[in-house]
Amino acid sequence: MTERAMSKTAFIFPGQGSQYVGMGRGLYDAGCDVRALYDEAASITGIDVAGVSFDGPAETLAADITAQISVYVSNEAHRLKALEMGLRPDVVTGYSLGFYNALVASGVLSFADGLRAVHAAGRLVMASPVQGTMGAVIGLSVDEVELICADSSATDHVWVSNINAARQVLVSGGAQAVGRAVALATERGALSAYVLPMGAAYHSPMMKGASALLLQELSGLRFHTPRLPLLSYIDAGYLDDPEAIMRTVAGAISSRVLWRDSVLRLVSDGVGRFIEVGPGASLSRMVRWVDRTAIAEPLEQTLKEAGIGQP
């Protein structure tokens, strides 16, 4: 057996932006357990998650809180299917919103409490007196984007918020500053630079107020010791203390995403197989950008090829 075949498997859960109309419909139609997830989500949040996930319209699904809740439920539906298929992770993590699914997968939170946490975070961010937006810069180094952010911060500010790969960086901040940063990145040779359809400046200092309020709300939930190794995308370190996990979750919405470092940490710890558990394949592509030798498998694509859980 090869070293790669003997390596560990990580479940990685995607975040906001991976949603699309129709996601999860086949899994919903195929299993009572999955239908129960959508029913519970509707009961807790008051949102028709099944209806908007399967039938849209796209602009409604793309709204921040709706997208976050819908992706969270879809991720969990995919996880249940993965377990049914006999897939088991050695370690779990998630990208931004997807980290809540990693908490569920590791036993830190129940599905219901994870949903309450997602809903609370989205509500508090939307109620924040400062909103902003985000942008993507492809083809420039982190240092180059840091300088662009500094040069674009005048009446409002913009920061590097997500380091996905060596030359795939997101920025976050005031809407005008993000617009200036995107334009400047294009002038300075970015392969692509554009404003993202996000309703807030996630993973930036602008969200510190929402983070503090979220910590208060999370204190009412039951956080448990993880049953599986749980990697934080904030500092690429493992979390095992419930109190520390709660604080990490609260602080995550105002902290930088170190996805590249997280992938490298997992690879250095023996992970050779990354299974993206949720809609789309964005994380699988990012894993390959970081380490071309890693096996990155979008579960949704595996299910489609096998004709499993399709509408």
Model confidence pLDDT, tens digit, residues 248-282: 999 999 999 999 999 999 999 999 999 999 999 99
Q: Let me know if residue 57 belongs to a domain.
A: yes
Say if residue 72 is in the same domain as residue 184.
Answer: no
Indicate the residue among 198, 214, 237 that finishes a domain: 198
Say if residue 100 is in the same domain as residue 234.
Answer: yes
Q: How far apart are CA 161 and CA 197, in angstroms?
A: 15
Longest dimension (CA), the chain: 59
Q: Let me know if residue 226 belongs to a domain.
A: yes
Q: Which two tokens stand for residue 305?
A: 């090829």
Q: Let me know if residue 92 belongs to a domain.
A: yes
Would you tell me how many other CB atoms lie within 10 Å of the CB of residue 28? 22
Say if residue 13 is in the same domain as residue 82.
Answer: yes
Q: What is the CATH number of the domain that holds 44?
A: 3.40.366.10
User: Which pLDDT does position 5 carry in this prediction?
Assistant: 44
Say if residue 227 is in the same domain as residue 99.
Answer: yes
Say if residue 76 is in the same domain as residue 177.
Answer: no
Q: Let me know if residue 3 belongs to a domain.
A: no
Say if residue 33 is in the same domain as residue 173.
Answer: no
Q: Which residues pair with 257 in a beta bridge?
A: 162
Q: Which domain holds residue 107?
A: 8-128+206-306
Q: What is the CATH number of the domain that holds 193?
A: 3.30.70.250
pLDDT tens profile 232-249: 999 999 999 999 999 999
User: Which pLDDT does position 310 carry in this prediction?
Assistant: 59
**DSSP letter, residue 198:** -
Q: pLDDT band at 32, cuts 50/70/90?
A: confident
Q: Which residue has the tokens 């795939």?
A: 168
Say if residue 118 is in the same domain as residue 229.
Answer: yes
pTM for the structure as a whole? 0.95
Say if residue 35 is in the same domain as residue 76.
Answer: yes
Indicate the residue among 198, 220, 254 that finishes a domain: 198
Say if residue 178 is in the same domain as residue 238.
Answer: no
Q: Let me know if residue 1 belongs to a domain.
A: no
Indicate the residue among 145, 180, 198 that finishes a domain: 198
Q: Per-residue pLDDT for 3 more than 70?
A: no
Q: Let me know if residue 311 belongs to a domain.
A: no
Total structural domains in the chain? 2
Say if residue 112 is in the same domain as residue 223.
Answer: yes
Q: What is the DSSP string of 83-129?
A: HHTT---SEEEESTTHHHHHHHHTTSS-HHHHHHHHHHHHHHHHHSS
Say if residue 138 is in the same domain as residue 218.
Answer: no
pLDDT tens profile 192-227: 999 999 999 999 999 999 999 999 999 999 999 999
Contacts of 43 (CB under 8 A, 6+ apart): none
Q: Which two tokens stand for residue 115?
A: 């949903």
The answer to whether residues 144 and 135 touch, using CB atoms and an 8 Å cutoff, is: no
**DSSP letter, residue 19:** -
Q: Let me know if residue 138 belongs to a domain.
A: yes
Distances from the Cα of 170 to the Cα of 184, 220, 237, 309, angstroms: 14, 32, 21, 33
Q: Which residue has the tokens 């809540």?
A: 100
Q: Let me know if residue 122 belongs to a domain.
A: yes
Sign of the CA dihedral with 265 first, then 266, 271, and 272 last: negative
pLDDT tens profile 48-88: 999 999 999 999 999 999 999 999 999 999 999 999 999 99
Residue type at 187 in one-letter notation: E
Say if residue 91 is in the same domain as residue 160.
Answer: no
